[in-house]
Structure formats: C-alpha cells, structure tokens
Amino acid sequence: MALSIGIVGLPNVGKSTLFNALTKAQNAESANYAFCTIEPNKAVVPVPDARIDKLAEIVNPQRVQQSTVDFIDIAGLVEGASKGEGLGNKFLGNIRETQAILHVVRCFDNDDVIHVANSVDPLRDIEIIETELILADVQALDTRIEGMKKKIKGDKTLGPKIAEAEKLLEHLNEGNPVNTFGELDTDIMDEMMRDLRMITAKNVIYCANVDEEGLTEDNDYVKKVKALADERGAEFVKISAKMEEELVGLDDDEYNEFLDSYGVTESGLAKIIRTGFHSLGMISYFTAGVKEVRAWTIHDGDKAPRAAAAIHTDFERGFIRAEVIGYNDYITNGSEAACRSAGVLRSEGKEYVVKDGDVIHFLFNV
C-alpha cells in the first residue's frame, strides 16, 4: 500500500534540506533563494520499527522489507499560489495526489537565511499557506458545482449533490478547511472527496524547523506552532533539518554520539516518518520466514481477509484462516515452532481484526 505525504511550506523554510536527509542523498537541490525546487521530488522512506529488526535476528532471513512512506517534496508556495503565483497551480496539483501534508515552518532567526516575507512569524506563515490551500479547494469545488448545475436538467439526482457541495463551499469561503466540516460522513461527501481529492481534507503534521539551540529548549516560535497544533488536534514534530542532513552517512556509533551531543535520543526524521505513518491510520503486521521477514501496511481496524490482500488479492479472495502470533509471544518463545508448542499460536477466522505487530501466516485456496 503506497502511502504519500507532501512536504509543504513557504520558500526557504527548510523543506529541501529536510528532504535531502529523508532520502539520505543530496537529490533535492537546496539554495538560499525562492523556487530553487521546481519539480516535485519523491523519496520512498522505510518506517523505523525496532520490532522487525528483532524478528530478523531470530529468523535470520535472506532479506528484510520494512513498511515505507513516500515523501513528496513540493516547491515552496507563496501568497497567490492558488491564482498561479510562483507556479502555484502546478504545485497545488501535486499536493492533491498525496494522502497527508507535512507543513514545515521556520522557527529560528538567522539573518543569513532569506525569508520570503523578510521576517520570521510562524503563525503568519502557516496562515498564508493554509489560505492558499483553502482557495485552491474553493476553486475545485466551485468548478464541480458549476458543472453539475449544467447537467441537472438531464439528471435530477444531482440536486442533493449540489446542495451538499454548496454547504461545503460556504464553509470553505468562511476560511475553514474541509477537515473541519461537520457533514463529511455522507455517501455524497465520500464520493466527492474521492473525486476531488480536496487538499484541506488531508491530515496535517506541523513540523517546526529549529536551529541547533532550539533542539534542547522550545523557543517562542515553537511554542506557538505547538499550541496551534494542539488546538486543532493535529500532529506536531520538532526537528533541525540542518542537523538531520549532517547525520546522513554516519555509522551507528557516530550517529548516536552526534545525537548525544545535542541532548536528543531520537532523530527528528524517525519522528516524522513514524508520525506520518500513524497519522494516516496505518499499522503493520509481519510475515516471518527464512526467505523474508516483512512488514505489511494495512489500515488500523482491517480484518484478516483484508489484511491478507496487502500480500496478494488472491489471499483475500480465497481466505481460509490466519495463524496469528502476537509479537511479544514470538519474541519470548523465539520461533514459530516454539510458539505453536507453547499454545500461543492462534487460528483466527474472517472476523479477526489484525493487531499492530501480529506475526501472521495466511492459509488460502483459490
């Protein structure tokens, strides 16, 4: 299952520096001027998960395959992007293709790094970007409504769709994002969201980019962004994109020593990747064999047949049962055979809801 997160923000807030670190390579150009990134870049990033490493130590497979998240680095948006300013329409289109948004905000002062507005004000910067995203959704929805109105004479079923769409349009025109609209759980809205891929319907992760000093103590900028995220029930992470870039290429000992020198225990990238994964409502289950130990990505709440489809659609179609071992039971007993002997391997049917970390063997017949 391909999961994608778009990295957005004003120019020169650290998006491309962050992307360089995410990809472990310098393939997103960083420069001290606006619009240095003119094409979206994509990085397929493994989700950090110590559980799969422990399973691999026990099984000793030929290969290990982690869950992944696709990060899309989208060029800096500016005020007027929804009207095409700064190649805005092209980049807004790229955002529509993602499933969530990582909103990078500059939270440090540095006269040597140009800010497009010539001052640092994270809440203002957030408002600029979010206003442009709302305006882009207004345009998309307005176009859809006009199209439906032209066809309603020949298709009376469009009446309720137009009525619901106009309610949402009014909500947007008041400056509110789609994800705060209280009537999204209807069949009409569900269809509209799939068709239009509304930008402001997506989950947002606010990412405060700080300098080295900001890592150890939250400055006023960070506190404001964090408070906004809390108010909106959104995810929040704090990173130093520059420091993350410097971590690229270090071996394990150097890497841990570098983190210790800044008084942090975990890379900001690990936090971003994990937060992005879970913000999309995803979990992982594992398959463990001598050929491969692998994490499979599913939606939290998926039942066993649906989870099996992550491996192959035939597994869902011909599902018979699932042999399930809880992760902790697997680690404690040390092998599938030992788990079977200990009676902790369970046989589950079609109604079983897969748990995060389950180690599963599916039986199917097609």
Q: What is the pLDDT of residue 349?
A: 97
What letter would DSSP give residue 355? Answer: P
The answer to whether domain 4-279 has CATH 3.30.420.40 is no
Handedness of CA 302, 270, 198, 131 (dihedral sign): positive
Q: Which two tokens stand for residue 272?
A: 């971003």
Q: Which residues pair with 207 in a beta bridge?
A: 104, 237
Partners of 237 in the β-ladder: 207
| 173 has binding-site annotation | no
Report whether 13 belongs to an annotated binding site: yes
- Count of CB atoms within 10 A of residue 358's CB? 25
pLDDT of residue 38: 44
> Where exactly are the structural domains of the chain?
4-279, 301-364
Are the C-beta atoms of 44 and 70 separated by less than 8 Å? yes
- Quick check: 239 and 276 in contact, CB under 8 A? no
The pLDDT, as a whole number, for residue 229 is 95
What are the C-alpha distances in Å from 303 to residues 3, 13, 83, 321, 330? 19, 41, 44, 11, 21
Residue 86 pLDDT: 45
Each residue's pLDDT, cut to its tens digit, for the chain (366 residues) gives 668 899 988 888 888 888 888 876 434 344 444 545 445 578 888 888 899 999 999 999 999 998 888 888 876 565 554 455 444 455 677 788 899 999 999 999 887 776 776 788 999 999 998 998 999 899 999 999 999 999 988 888 899 999 999 999 999 999 999 989 988 889 999 999 999 999 999 999 999 999 888 888 899 999 999 999 999 999 999 999 888 888 877 777 887 888 888 777 778 888 888 888 888 889 999 999 999 999 999 999 999 999 999 999 999 999 999 999 999 999 999 999 999 999 999 999 999 999 999 999 999 997
d(CA 330, CA 167): 52
**DSSP symbol at 85:** G
Check the annotation: does 248 bind a ligand. Answer: no
Was 6 annotated as part of a binding site? no
* DSSP strands (E only) in 202-331: 203-209, 235-239, 282-288, 292-299, 319-325
Check whether 238 is labelled as a binding-site residue: no
| Residue 303 DSSP one-character state | B
Domains 4-279 and 301-364 share a fold: no
Cα angle value 45/50/54 (rounded, 5°): 125
Per-residue pLDDT at 79: 59
> Hey, which CATH number is domain 301-364, 3.40.50.360, 1.10.760.10, 3.40.50.170, 3.10.20.30?
3.10.20.30
Tell me if 17 is assigned to a ligand binding site.
yes
Q: How far is it, in rounded angstroms, from Cα 357 to Cα 325?
A: 9
Q: What's the confidence (pLDDT) of residue 29? A: 42
